[in-house]
Amino acid sequence: MRLKDAPGRFLKREYTVLVFMVVATFIANFSNYSFNVIAARWLGKDDYGALAALLSVFLIFSVPTTALQAIMAKYVAIYKVEGERARISSLLKGSLKLLLIIGLAVFVVFTAFSVPISRFMNVGSSASIIVLGSAIAMAGLYPIFLGALQGYQFFGHMGTNMMIQAFTRVIVGIVLIRIGWGIIGAMGASTLALAAAMIIAYFQGGTLFDLGLARERVDFREIFREFIPAIVILAIFWSFTGMDVVIAKRVLDPSPAGDYACAVFMGKIILFLPTAVSMVMFPKTAEARARQVRSLKVFFKYFLAGVALSGCAGVLFVTVPRTLITVLYGSEYLNAAAVMGMFGVAMTLYTAVNILIMYFISIRATRTPIIIMAAALSAEVLMMSLFARTPRQFALVHLLVAGALAVLLLLVTVGVRSQEKEWDDPEE
């Protein structure tokens, strides 16, 4: 099979690819959100509370997968530039073997300790913990397949695979819940959907996953050295919109804390919208760096597109916050409207930060951004802990920190520009 992206044949123009990925990402995320709503209605409050606890653990263990997918995409893009087909195959094969061993170990641990874990989490059946272990194991393998499609810029296949994975989870989850499997069925749907998506990705990748190619040496130690800072910088980034909820829960009264949580989780809609922009940009800037052409010019094109996309959503947070809250959360949370405008602006700025850090990961320039972000996170935690006593004050801290971060990280690109000054223009 030739290395073709069949669904991508019609995706000729660059912005058509971008629009497709934005739509695919939105559909996948909306499907996952819909499944949570369906599960909440059909399982009942008690069982859904147990499922939510299981999903929270699943998300914690899934944090490294974003970094793993990014690193896989980067090295596939670099080896593609160098014409190293066999090395791509060796990279994927070696990574899959390693993560399969780690995944089996995780599954064995969750199975062996399923009874005490289920008691500690108060989720009832120990079988649900075993299924959780299987989902975590599968989630560790999926980024290898998705990263391969992303790195080779098979965006048609990548977007299609993401939607199939989400649809499969919804359909299988509904069937398993309806036939009486309850929490186990709802959690097991994630395992089965990930397995199905990986099988499909294997065929989508064609010779990318040709295990019969001769082995080529891959320096996994170098890859691991990039993987660690990628995990660190992404963990710090997501802490900006995670730590605040924990602090708010401690210092605010229950009702304002609930309103603030509503504003935070609605704000993440803005943050997730440009995910597709980063996905499309990432292998292109990594490839540009490998070719020694100006990656910064490629970056700014996608940076502006991502910020514009989030900005459009942010406008709604400023202009019609009460309508959004009523539709998504209900009138009980209307007090959150007072801070929605600030959150709309803050999350648009965080979008800029997100795209910037993905760019820095792609060109292996994370040291200075990590220092800046760690300092900013410390400042946010201190300001919120010591001075913020209302939802509006929490939102104001977000606004200040996000604005400062965006400006400082944009200044870091000045150093990148000086490095690439003598390189070719990608548009020439």
In a domain? residue 426: no
Q: What is the pLDDT of residues 8-49, one digit of tens each?
A: 454 456 678 888 988 898 899 888 877 877 776 787 766 776
Rg (CA), the chain: 22
Residue 344 lies in a domain: yes
Residues forming a β-bridge with 293: 424
Shared domain for 112 and 18, answered yes or no, is yes
List Cβ neighbours of 112 (8 Å cut-off, separation of 6 or more).
none
| pLDDT at residue 120 greater than cutoff 90 | no
Task: Let me know whether 159 and 233 are in one domain.
Answer: no
For residue range 302-346, list pLDDT tens digits in order.
Answer: 999 999 989 998 999 999 999 988 887 778 788 888 999 998 999
Task: Return d(Cα 244, Cα 261) in angstroms, integer.
Answer: 9
pLDDT, tens digit, for every residue of 216-267?
Answer: 778 788 888 888 899 899 888 988 877 787 788 778 887 788 788 778 777 8
Other Cβ atoms closer than 10 A to 346: 27
pLDDT of residue 10: 45
Identify the domain boundary among 190, 218, 246.
Answer: 218
Among residues 218, 243, 263, the one where a domain terminates is: 218
User: Are residues 172 and 200 part of one domain?
Assistant: yes
Can you give the pLDDT at residue 31?
Answer: 87
Please give the residue range of the domain that contains residue 128: 6-218
- What does pTM read for this prediction? 0.80
Q: How many structural domains comprise the chain?
A: 2
Q: Quick check: 152 and 3 in contact, CB under 8 A?
A: yes
287 and 402 assigned to the same domain: yes
pLDDT of residue 6: 47
Distance of CA 227 to the CA centre of its chain: 15
Given 166, 194, 218, which residue is the final one in a domain? Answer: 218
Q: Which residues contact 362 (CB under 8 A, 6 or more apart)?
A: 70, 74, 281, 282, 283, 285, 286, 289, 295
**359 vs 131: CA distance, rounded Å:** 36
Same-domain pairing of 137 and 191: yes
- Flag whether 421 is in a domain: no
Nearest alpha carbon to residue 56 among 41, 36, 30: 36
In percent, the amount of the chain with pLDDT more than 90 equals 38
Q: Are 70 and 147 in contact (CB under 8 A)?
A: yes
pLDDT score of 3: 47
